[in-house]
Structure 1
Amino acid sequence: MQREVLVVGYDGAVLTDIAGPVDVFDGAGKVCGGYRVRLAAVGGGFAVSGGLRMEAEDLRDVAAGVDTVLVAGGTAFEAAAADPELRRHLRRVADGARRVGSVCTGAFVLAGAGLLDGARVTTHWAFCDRLAAENPSVEVVPDAIHVRDGRVVTSAGVTAGIDLALALVEQDHGARLARLVARWMVVFLQRPGGQSQFSVRSRVPPVRERGLRDLLDAIADDPAASWTVEGMARRAAMSPRHFARVFPRRVGVPPARYVERVRVEAAAGVLESGDEGLDVVARRCGFGSAETMRRAFQRVLGVTPGGYRHRFRTTGAA
């Protein structure tokens, strides 16, 4: 069965938001014949970032019945979200679609059309707070690469659209085809939806205490070290009591939770790129045992280490 994927653009849309998912679905379609990709905008052709002009169908002429509707993000998302004609025809074609989604700030366009009410979604990190403030009925997940909530699928900025499209191909046709398309495009299979848009260390707000900054860098450099609260306090040149108060205020989570997240991130990288046993990975990344690592993965990513490796390994099986 061939599924029609309709990518919706507008003047000022970001080219990568369009080209990334289009290439994924087109590549998968060439292998399995499972997709037909279409590009549409109100009025037909439109200009994307960089001044290039895209040929497209007129969204006003697109009949209902497409399988997946995906709206691109762009610098002009505010105007697109406020365009009554775009909102009306987007609602019309989305009404019967199996999936409705967005890349980056395309989430604002979906929200403007009333298609995100009550849904869990994400968008580019720089616009998550704004999306939540302007749409109180929407639950914004601020740190996800992509989020699937029923038929609503949304992704973070720019290249995250490729991750989302690969996840949808995997949902439709299995991990083998998604891996094949990813390898052909010379990208990782896909970052899991629950994975952060940034590394654990880079998400920490600026820290003024030099000792605390040095500690955070040291944990990122060597997550497998024995990071006890007392040892971390000494490294940060603070008393344990003062450290226990300051760390959550500056970093946003307690020390043990932060170390756990760094270790999960390190283990995820090992699982993606190698074939070492889970016990070996656990010891290498500071968990001590595979069971401890399993519980940490479930808390942080909502998936087991084995399940993570099966879905996101970037080496080995095609």
Structure 2
Amino acid sequence: MSPSSQTTGPEQQGETGPIGAARAALASIPPPPWRWTGTRNYGGPALVTDHSGQQYLLGAAKPTDATGEELLDPTDDSPVYGDLMFRDQRDGAKYAVMRPGAEMAVGRTSYDPDSIVDVDNPVARWLRDAPQHLADALAAVDQLRAERDAWRGRALDAENRDHVSEACIDCGTTLTSCPTHSPRAVVRHLTAELAETRSRVGELEQRLHAACMTRTWTNEDGKKFVFVEDIAPALLGKPGAADLPEPVSEQSIRNQIADDFTKFGERQDTLSWGEAVVIAREGLCRCRGGRKPCQDGGAR
């Protein structure tokens, strides 16, 4: 696996806050991936890079005496090695303890158990994987920013389509005259979807009201309950739901939206993309001939 890229783009340069701090921290260390290596009886596990010639990042130091000389095993005069200690809590243990890394080291093979390839410990796994997790998270942030900027560009383009004469990629006509993709065609489509959604919301509100009005019963303990067969028709919209009013018809909603556009046209000749969407979604305010209360100067 190749090391993760730690370059910064124009938006990342001089970035502040948590994201900027994370980028600076990641740039100050050798890039991931990292891995555990070492020898079980000669210093225990050591954390190294998995690229660029295996750079050492973390390992145990040899103990020394008061003069700075390394300690020797009196039995054979061999150097005494240290070991990293990890907080560890085995399954079923009540408390966590500090355990030497050599005890939790994973050997390379069954015939070479002293060569370390990993450490079976959550702290060790976090130390190994944290830089890669951070690099992946920052890459996801950059991708989301790119998608945000792309949507912003599409939104600005949509607002200006009435003044653009480029050809529609589907039918070849200009966008202003395309029967499917012109701003007014899109508004008609969105208006139809809005009417259907409003009708569905009204129906669900009526079902919920009918469910709340379901008759309740009381048992010997004073606890209230309802029977499934009593409440199911209201929740599922089946015939038999008590006092379930008729939902608002889609046609009546379409008529109201059409009336709003008509009244707007009586006062103003042009209709921008943003105004059309707001009128279709929220209704026409009173200052423009509609029934909706005006808020901060009406729809814009």
TM-score by length of 1: 0.21
Larger radius of gyration: 2
Q: Which has the higher contact order (CA 8 A, sep 6+)?
A: 1
Q: Which has the higher helix share?
A: 1
